[in-house]
């Protein structure tokens, strides 16, 4: 079986497809409202009533549990609201300073290959980071995007320390994707201590600002759209939306 690194991640749509809607929401969007909106959009896309959508937002502080979550990894259940979600994966944190990207694409118009889709999302993140001279890397045994931290102590097995800078968790319905990814721009990294992020305790969590980059979420959004279009094709801002 090919590794995600070796999979061809071209996910361009079939010729003649309309561009993806690109939506940026200001302020903090409650998680429940975001899920309701995603459900509506996914149904409309699946029924051919709406074009594909990428939705960029921030949430208030909260934890979400994916379909593989182990309750033992929820260390501080009273710290923030906890939401069960249908996406793949385990526990993760969302909060201010983290760019959440909900990706609603019709893979029937692109490529009906879940592993290739996950690899393509990772590729978008890696390309975005590369535009800021940050080397993001995928790991075959753990989904997400990672950065090496040679300045930190070695791991118990003697390996180099690595921190997670971006997380992924997806779901498909009638081959329409939803949920998506999150990139740590400048969240409060202490908030991750209430969980074992993605069930992985051996590695840490970092952000662009933690790595020394003086960036804002808006700066990342511009590069994120460029990287998305390189992998998935054209995207146009919705009326009244940033981007």
Annotated ligand binding at 191? The verdict is no
Burial 107-129 (b: 16+ CB within 10 A, else e): bebbbeeeebbbbbbbbbbbbbb
Annotated ligand binding at 63? The verdict is no
Residue 198 falls in the annotated catalytic set: yes
CA nearest neighbour of 181 among 196, 198, 166, 195 = 166
Annotated ligand binding at 182? The verdict is yes
Annotated ligand binding at 79? The verdict is no
Annotated ligand binding at 168? The verdict is yes
Annotated ligand binding at 93? The verdict is yes
Contact call for residues 125 and 143 (beta carbons, < 8 A): no
Annotated ligand binding at 88? The verdict is yes
- Residue 79's Cβ-count burial label (10 Å; 0-12, 13-18, 19+) is middle
Annotated ligand binding at 140? The verdict is no
Q: Which stretch of DSSP H or E encloses residue 100? A: strand 98-104
**Is the dihedral angle over the CA atoms 243, 93, 145, 163 positive or is it negative?**
positive
Annotated ligand binding at 94? The verdict is yes
**Is the dihedral angle over the CA atoms 156, 142, 150, 215 positive or is it negative?**
negative
Annotated ligand binding at 58? The verdict is no
Q: In angstroms, rounded to a whole number, what is the distance separating the alpha carbons of residues 20 and 231?
A: 12
Catalytic residue among 125, 183, 198, 227: 198
Q: In angstroms, rounded to a whole number, what is the distance separating the alpha carbons of residues 89 and 67?
A: 6
The SS3 call for residue 40 is helix
User: Binding site for substrate: which residues?
Assistant: 87-94, 167-169, 180-182
Catalytic residues: 198
């Amino acid at each position: 079986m090919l590794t995600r690194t070796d999979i061809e991640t071209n996910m361009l749509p079939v010729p003649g497809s309309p561009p993806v809607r690109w939506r940026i929401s200001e302020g903090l969007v409650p998680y429940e409202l975001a899920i309701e909106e995603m459900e509506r959009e996914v149904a409309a896309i699946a029924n051919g009533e709406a074009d594909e959508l990428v939705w960029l937002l921030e949430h208030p502080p909260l934890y979400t549990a994916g379909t593989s979550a182990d309750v033992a990894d929820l260390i501080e259940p009273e710290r923030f609201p906890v939401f069960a979600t249908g996406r793949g994966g385990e526990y993760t944190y969302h909060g201010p300073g983290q760019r959440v990207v909900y990706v609603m694409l019709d893979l029937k118009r692109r490529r009906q290959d879940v592993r290739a889709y996950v690899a393509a999302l990772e590729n978008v993140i890696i390309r975005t980071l590369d535009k800021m001279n940050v080397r993001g890397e995928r790991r075959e045994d753990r989904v997400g995007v990672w950065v090496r931290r040679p300045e930190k102590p070695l791991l118990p097995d003697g390996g180099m320390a690595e921190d997670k800078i971006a997380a992924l968790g997806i779901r498909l319905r009638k081959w329409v994707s939803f949920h998506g990814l999150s990139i740590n721009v400048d969240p409060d990294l202490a908030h991750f201590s209430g969980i074992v992020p993605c069930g992985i305790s051996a590695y840490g969590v970092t952000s662009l600002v933690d790595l020394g980059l003086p960036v804002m979420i808006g700066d990342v959004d511009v590069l994120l759209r460029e990287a998305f279009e390189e992998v998935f094709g054209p995207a146009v801002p919705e009326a009244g939306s940033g981007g």
